Each structure stands twice: as structure tokens, then as C-alpha cells.
């Protein structure tokens, strides 16, 4: 499986994403600069955390108009896995690939620490490696991770089982109903504020994030690789 790690001006978790895929999974991965116009040949897309375009205007609002984004949208519509973490999540929201919006943390402070998450839906390509309601430890690092949507959208998220992760023991940012990550209706686009790429080895404090990347590869291969 071949992944693209999209790099925007201000991305700072792109190397972590690359490491998770290449060194921990042993899968093929390439950096793709934001002004490129093709993702031909890639099987999955990773939008890393950071501060794309310095978070000017609004987090993710400028990156949404980068040359590469029509290709990200195309792959998402084709059903290929698209994972946006932290600033990547914000970009997915701005691009309309996921519903809702991000607000400043209710503390108005940047938060960086390990957080317990509950797997709210283990029936997606990203979460199939976890048990339903499993509690995992994944670090957060953000200043605008307070997820919000209107009542109709929230009900739609619930009805379609689109809430992938909730904060389990502490809501660090005031996010609506403890939401930490959501998918699109099809389940192939995931946005989450916590950083699974920073939890792929016990030396980092947790390896709980590795299951997500393993799950993507396993589910993709089961669907696309034909054995004789």
C-alpha cells in the first residue's frame, strides 16, 4: 500500500507520519508538497498536524485551497482512506470532507499531553483493529481542537455512526459531547485531533496508535489484494 503524506507550509508532524508508515508498518510512503496537482498511484492520503500557513485567518482555511486538495477530495470520493490529524482534521473540515468546525480550546490555552480515548466505532477501516469501547492512550497537541456542529449535524453523526473516538476520562478542549474524531458517512475519511502517529512505539509512551495504521493496511489489503 502506498501512502502520500501531504506537506503544507507550516506542517510539523509530516516526519512523524512518514516514520509511522515506513519504519513501523514497512509500507511505501512519499511526501507530496502542497502545490503538486496529482496523487496518481497513491492508495491512501495522510494530512499531518502542524500550523499550515501559520494558522492565519483560521486553522486549515488557507490550506484548503492548496493545489493538491482537489486530488485529496478525488481520492476520498473514490473511497480511498484519507486520515487528517490535528491540523489535518481542521483542513478536512474546511474542505467540506467532514462536517462541523473547530473552535479555540475552552481554556484558550495550547494543550500538549497524553489523553485517554474511547473507540466509539470500531467498524471503520481506521478502527477495525480496536475493540469497541476500547480505551487507548494517544497524545494531543493543539490550541483549536474544540469540535462543534449544530444539532442536526450532531444527530446525523450519531445516526450514521460517524463518531469514531470520544475523550474517555478528560475532555481537554471542551469538544461537543467529548468528540475526538469523526468520519464521513462512507467511513473512508477520518479526522481526529489526537496524534496516533506519535503513539506507534512503546518508547514514545504508547503504541496504541500503531493499531490504526495497521488497520488501514489490513482492511485495504483484504479489499484490494486478490489471492490465487
The residues annotated with a catalytic role in the active site are: 86, 195, 197
Contact between 189 and 76 (Cβ < 8 Å): yes
Q: In which region does residue 40 sit, left (phi positive, over 0), alpha (psi from -120 to 50) or beta (all else)?
A: beta
- Parallel, antiparallel, or unpaired: how do β-strands 82-85 and 189-192 relate? parallel
Distance CA 225, CA 152 (A): 39
Give the C-alpha separation, 179 to 85, whole Å.
14
Copy the grid coordinates of residue 116. 485517554
Dihedrals phi, psi of 43, to nearest 5 degrees: -100, -15
3-state secondary structure of 137: strand
The pair phi, psi for residue 155, each rounded to 5°, is: -65, -35
Mode of pairing for the β-strands spanning 163-167 and 111-119: antiparallel
Amino acid at each position: 500500500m502506498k501512502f502520500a503524506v501531504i506537506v503544507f507550509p507550516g506542517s510539523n508532524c509530516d516526519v512523524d507520519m512518514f516514520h509511522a508508515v515506513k519504519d513501523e508498518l514497512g509500507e511505501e510512503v512519499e511526501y507530496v508538497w502542497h502545490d503538486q496537482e496529482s496523487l496518481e498511484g497513491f492508495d491512501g492520503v495522510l494530512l499531518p498536524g502542524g500550523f499550515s500557513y501559520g494558522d492565519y485567518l483560521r486553522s486549515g482555511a488557507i490550506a484548503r485551497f492548496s493545489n493538491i486538495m482537489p486530488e485529496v477530495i478525488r481520492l476520498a470520493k473514490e473511497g480511498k482512506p484519507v486520515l487528517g490529524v490535528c491540523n489535518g482534521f481542521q483542513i478536512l473540515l474546511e474542505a467540506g470532507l467532514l462536517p462541523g468546525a473547530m473552535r479555540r480550546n475552552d481554556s484558550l490555552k495550547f494543550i500538549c499531553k497524553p489523553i485517554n480515548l474511547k473507540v466509539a466505532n470500531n467498524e471503520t477501516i481506521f478502527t477495525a483493529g480496536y475493540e469497541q469501547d476500547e480505551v487507548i492512550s494517544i497524545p494531543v497537541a493543539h490550541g483549536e481542537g474544540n469540535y462543534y456542529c449544530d444539532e442536526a449535524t450532531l444527530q446525523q453523526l450519531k445516526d450514521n455512526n460517524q463518531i469514531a473516538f470520544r475523550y474517555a476520562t478528560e475532555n481537554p478542549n471542551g469538544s461537543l459531547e467529548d468528540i475526538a474524531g469523526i468520519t464521513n458517512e462512507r467511513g473512508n475519511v477520518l479526522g481526529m485531533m489526537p496524534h496516533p502517529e506519535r503513539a506507534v512505539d512503546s518508547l514514545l509512551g504508547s503504541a496504541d496508535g500503531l493499531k490504526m495504521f495497521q488497520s488501514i493496511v489490513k482492511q485495504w489489503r483484504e479489499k484490494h489484494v486478490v489471492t490465487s
